[in-house]
Copies of this chain bind each other. A is one copy, B any other.
Amino acid sequence: MKKTLLFSLLTAGISLSAAAQEVIDQAAVQKIREEGLNRSQVMKTAFYLTDVAGPRLSGSPGLKNAQNWAVKELQGYGLVNAKLEPWGKFGKGWQVNKNYAAITVPYYHAIIAIPKAWTSSTKGPVKGDVMLIKIDTLTDLPKYKGQLNGKIVIIDNNAPALVRSKNPDLSRYTDEELAKMAATTPQPAGGRGPRPAGNPQMAAFMAARAKAAAMRGAISSFLQQENVALILSQGRGTDGTVFTTNGASYADTAKTALPELETSGEDFLRIVRLLRAGQKVQMEADVQTQFFTNDLQGYNVIAEIPGTDKKLKEQVVMIGGHFDSWHAGTGATDNAAGSAVMMEAMRILKATGFKPKRTIRIALWSSEEQGLYGSRGYVAAHFGKKDSLKAEQSKVSAYYNLDNGTGKIRGVYLQGNAAVGPIFQSYLEPFKDLGATTVTISNTGGTDHQSFDAVNIPGFQFIQDGMDYNTRTHHSNQDTYDRLVEDDLKQAATIVASFVYHTAQRAEMLPRKEAPKATGTN
């Protein structure tokens, strides 16, 4: 997921009725539980999406391979209309072909460091002195002129000592935390709407941001002119865990950026301490990355179980999660987990012989990490914009999303849609024994259900136990298969399948919020 934003809703005053009169098909639930809990394929799917496919960075050949695999796999389940559907122009693909760096003076030590996404290659294997440079304003640049040729450069960020957590890496919601979420009431006003344009704080913020971006651009150009060999920056994380980002634009028109390694905190700070103490540090490195411009298009994976009710089959229940990942790990919790669970939910529904009234459609998005682009593109193409909706918009009952890591489902965010509260309470009822109990009026942000919510299609993300998402895996080199918790993924797929089943069979589509509301960007 892009980032986590939890905030309460603008709408006021509709309380969640505890009593719910939804029809729950207990026989169907039992079949779904048996298939999902006892004959699960979710870990096999997750294995293919992580270990076999590798990183699935937007636009990369790795993503395309995994998408093609998913299409075939979904066809294998018996789904129809399985395809890669373009959602618009993304930009350049990129992958790492070689990644090696070590200090060689004062002694040899290979470092843990990851190329920032979309940065370029070193000019073959390079060797050179490491230089710590201090740039507070652009007037600091000229003093380094002529001094950086072939150097490995660190821009001094006044990095403090590593702060190490006193808490466990792994966490699950406590009963108390869940009760608090359930008791959240809609906020009377405020929230995360667009800030008023005339707001002086906002203007100052935007100006500062623009200035910082301009400064970064000027520094970057200067370092390129000066023929710097490689940049080292500090990656967040400790103990060998490195959280990663991109270091350059993926736009096909973007200039290439210098090679840059996000370095483990320990290795980075060791080098910085040595340099600050006046010790000579030399390094050798060989970083080779590759760009792909043969296809700038972005794609989503789409597949369906067609509806069978003459009247209702034109209506759709959608599920999905983003399929793209960052590049340092294999995107296991972000978001092979959600993708595998959603694929497994479809498999469960097919395997139980379900003939849904409404059509059920899975969408595995791409370029979520860059701004929910895959889901936004899909929504724009099929359902329109909030001020110019297409007819198809009225036919989608719900979109269910999963993108908060490997943790099991503990409930669901209503995203301010109070009318669905009692319905979801009924849907959760058969899964209390599996720890899924909580309905909260709250919004959660940062992922693809927002694209649907933005055009007033009921879009939901489940509440999931956090596990080590924020402490270890989110965009890090440690987001690997090892973090996946089998029982949690089985539980999630089972619950999602049941939600989808009941939404597909329900007499009415799910109630909608009164009018489209922007829930903010991203």
Contacts and interface: CB of A to CB of B under 8 A. Distances in A.
A106 B51 CA distance: 9
A181 to B, nearest CB: 23
B107 A62 contact: yes
Contacts of A266: 478, 480, 482
A482 B164 CA distance: 9
Interface residues of A, number: 52
A189 interface: no
A242 B110 CA distance: 14
A97 B108 contact: yes
B170 A166 contact: yes
Main secondary structure of the interface of A (DSSP, over half): loop
Contact of A274 (B51, B55, B269, B482): B51
Contacts of A162: 482
Contact of A240 (B53, B96, B478, B483): B478
A52 B482 contact: no
B273 A481 contact: yes
A293 interface: no
Contacts of A472: 239
Contacts of A18: none
A72 interface: no
Given A240-B240, A242-B240, A478-B240, A169 B165 contact: yes
A270 B161 contact: no
A278 to B, nearest CB: 11
B240 A51 contact: no
B480 A270 contact: yes
Nearest to A172: B166
Given A52-B274, A62-B107, A102-B99, A168 B170 contact: no
B168 A166 contact: yes
Given A100-B100, A266-B482, A109 B54 contact: yes
A94 to B, nearest CB: 12
A107 B49 CA distance: 13
Interface string A457-473: 00000000000100010
B106 A99 contact: no
Interface string A277-293: 10100000000000000
Interface string A61-95: 01000000000000000000000000000000001
Contacts of A107: 53-55, 62, 95
A26 interface: no
A291 to B, nearest CB: 15
A241 interface: yes
Given A97-B108, A168-B165, A482-B162, A273 B51 contact: yes
Nearest to A479: B266
A112 interface: yes
A162 B480 CA distance: 11
Contacts of A161: 482
Contacts of A100: 100, 102, 110
B98 A270 contact: no
A486 to B, nearest CB: 9
A312 to B, nearest CB: 41
Contacts of A97: 108
Contacts of A51: 270, 273-274, 277, 279
16 contacts: A52-B277, A54-B107, A54-B109, A95-B108, A97-B108, A100-B110, A112-B112, A112-B240, A161-B482, A164-B169, A164-B170, A164-B468, A166-B170, A238-B482, A266-B482, A270-B480
